[in-house]
Chain A
C-alpha cells in the first residue's frame, strides 16, 4: 500500500506505508569495532517484527575521505554504497553522521555526475537513522527495554544539526524501565572526534573530549548514550585514559537490554 510519507530531509516522498523488511547499513566502525551495536540494533528491530536484511558487500559511506579533502575517493565509495543498496526499500543506520553523509552530502559529491546525483536523491528518503526509524516508521517509543541506572545523552553533532534529531532519542530512553535520564549542561557540545581531525589535532580533540567529560561527570551518570559510535569511541577512549567509572553505550544497546 502506497501513501505519502513525510521525510525529515524535506518535502514528501513516496513510502511504503507498511515496511516489513529493513536493510541494515551498520557502518564501517560498527562492523569492525563495535559489532555489538549492530547486533543490538538487529535485535530491537526483530523484536518489533521486522525482517532483517544485511547486504554483505557493504563497507563504508565514504565520509572519511570526504571530510579529509578527497571528494574523488569519497565518490568512489559512495557509488559502491549506492550500488549495494540499490534495491533496499528501507535502510537503517546506527549513526547520525553516516546517515547525514548519505542524505545530505552525496548530492554534493555527485555535482558533476547527474545520473549518480539523481540516484542519491532518490535513495535519501529511504535512509533512516535508527532512532528516527523507530519513532517515525515503526512508530514506537517503548520497545520494552529495561536498563537500571542513571544515563546522560550526548547529542552528536551531525544528528543534531544536520538531521535535526534532538528529542527523539530522549523520548526512547524515557520509556526504558529503570532508566533515569539526567541532562548534562554541555549536551550539544562536540565530543571532539571529527574523523581525521582527532589525529591531525590530537591535543585539541582530546581537550574537547575532556571538557565534555567534565560535564558528563557533573551529572553523576554511570552511562553516556549516543546514536553515533564514533563519538562513543572518542569519549570512551578518553574516559579509560582517565580511569573514570563511566561507560558509553549506543542507544541500540540500551534499547536491546531487558
Chain B
C-alpha cells in the first residue's frame, strides 16, 4: 500500500536474528502476563478491566473538569502546571527555565511522551545535555535509535549487541553479562545523577483529587531523577489524569501485570509538589507539563476518543502477530503496534499514515489483552473507511474503489455473478500473476479451482 515502508518490513522479516529477538522477548512478556492475570492469581481481572474502562471513559468525557482539579491541587502543594500545545512549547518552557536557573545537565527517566516530541534532540540543539537513565533508553541514546517498544525500548537488541555498543561508545572492555553491563551503565549514570540540575520524567497517572504524579518503574532511576536534582519536571499527555487516588487500586493492579506480568512494579512513586519544610528529600521546584500535541483533536469523536484510554502497557504489541513480524521501527511514529496503528493516523491525519490501519489481519488479539478494553479492531475498521473516504476526496485510490463497486453489484446480482464466476473458474489458470493475484502468489500457491461450484452441485442434486 501507498506509504508502506515495504523495504524496512522486508528487511526485518528477512533478518532471522532480529526475528528471534522480537519473538522471544514478546513471548516472554506474553507468558509473564498470562501468569499474572490468570484466574488463580487475579480472579477479578475481567471486572477490573471493565472498571478501568469505565473510569477512563468518565474521565475523558469530563477531562476539562479533572485537569482543572489536578492543576489546583498541584498548585496547593507548591507545584506548577504548565500547559503546552506542541512539542516546541515543551522545549521552550524547559529551555527558558534552564536558562533562568543556569542549568546545564538534565537527567531523564523513561517517558514516551518526551519521545513523542523529540525532547532530547530539541534540547541538545541548545547545548543542554540530556541523559537517559533507564537502562534500555540509555542504550538507545548511545545507539541514536528510537524506542522499539513502548515498555521494552531496546527489545530488539541482544546482550551481544549491547556489548558491542558499550565498547564502541563508552570505550569499555567487551562485556556480555547483562548484570555487568548494568554496572557499567550505572557507574556512568551515577555521576550524571549527582551533577544534574533538572530531572525530567513522564507520568503514568496524574491524580486529580490529590495533585499527585504517579510513576511506576523497576530500576529506581525515575525516583533518583525526581529526588537528586533541584528541579523536577514531569511531562505528561493530558489524557493521563484520573479522578481519584483510589482509582489507582484498579490501574496499578492492571498496568504492571499487563506490561511485564508483575503484580506491581518494583517502585511506585507518588509525587506531589516540591520538598516541604521539615522534609528530607524532594526537589526545590516541581512542574507538571501537560501536553496536548493533537490529543484534543481526538475528543470530538465519541467512539474514537477511547484511543485516549491507553495506559501504555504494551500488551497489544506483544500479542500482535504483525508487530511480532515487522518490529517497532517500521511504524512511522514512536507508538508502535496496534495502539500506534490507531493513534498515529488520528494524531497525524489519515492521509499521512493511511496504510497503518490496513496493516492488520483483524485477529483481535490486541483487544483481548487491552487492560482498559480499547476496541482496537473496531477502530481500525473505522479508520479504514476514513482512509478510503479521504482518498476519494483527494481523487486517488480509484481502481480499488471501482473494483469494490463492481464487486458489490455482482454480489447483489447473483445470476450474472454466477455465470461470470463459471467462466472465470475455467480461465483462472491463465490469468497473469499481477496485482492482488501476483501478491498472493508471491507467498503461496493458489487453491486449485473446483470442478463445479456448490451452486452447480446443488442445482444438479435438485434436478436428480
Look across to chain A and name the residue whose beta carbon is closest to the beta carbon of B455.
A31
A206 contacts the other chain (Cβ, under 8 Å)?
yes
Given A39-B457, A158-B364, A193-B361; A233-B447 close (CB under 8 Å): yes
Most chain A CB atoms below 10 A, which of B414, B446, B452? B414
**B363:A194 contact, CB within 8 angstroms:** yes
For residue B375, give the distance in angstroms from its CB to the closest CB of chain A: 11
Task: Enumerate A166-214 residues with CB–CB distance to B below 8 Å.
Answer: 188-190, 192-209, 211
| B187 proximal to A (CB < 8 A) | no
Binds A, one of B40-48, B248-256, B435-443: B435-443
Q: Interface size of A by Cβ–Cβ distance < 8 Å?
A: 66
Does residue A245 face the partner (Cβ distance < 8 Å to B)? no
> Which chain B residues have a beta carbon within 8 Å of chain A's beta carbons?
1, 4, 6, 9-10, 13, 23, 321-322, 324-326, 357-365, 367-368, 378, 381, 384-389, 400-401, 404-405, 407-408, 410-412, 414, 417, 421, 425, 436, 439-440, 442-447, 449-450, 452-459
Residue-wise, chain A 95-123 has the 8 Å CB interface mask toward B (1 for contact) of 00000000000001000000000000000
A199 to B4, CA, bound (A): 13
User: A240: which of B407, B444, B455 is its contact (CB, 8 Å)?
Assistant: B444
A-B contact pairs, 14 of them (CB 8 A): A26-B454, A54-B454, A68-B400, A69-B385, A70-B404, A77-B411, A161-B367, A161-B368, A188-B365, A197-B362, A204-B13, A206-B443, A211-B324, A238-B444
Is B407's CB under 8 angstroms from A189's CB? no
Are A197 and B321 within 8 A (Cβ)? Answer: no
Which residues of chain B are near A28, meaning CB under 8 Å?
Answer: 411
Interfacial chain B residues near A190, Cβ < 8 Å: 321, 361, 363, 365
- Which B residues are in CB contact (< 8 Å) with A211? 23, 321, 324-325
Q: When the two chains form their complex, are residues A70 and B401 in contact, meaning their CB atoms are under 8 A apart? A: yes
Q: How many A-B residue pairs have CB under 8 A?
A: 187
Taking CB atoms, residues of chain A closer than 8 Å to B407 are 64-65, 73
Q: Chain A residues near B446: list those with CB within 8 A.
A: 237
- For B387, the closest partner residue in chain A by CB is A69
Q: A32, B385: Cβ atoms under 8 Å?
A: no
Which B residues are CB-close (under 8 A) to A226?
Answer: none
Nearest-neighbor residue (CB-CB) of A84 within chain B: B414
Nearest A-chain residue to B440, judged by Cβ: A199
- Tell whether, in the assembled complex, residue B454 and residue A67 are in contact, meaning their CB atoms are under 8 Å apart: no
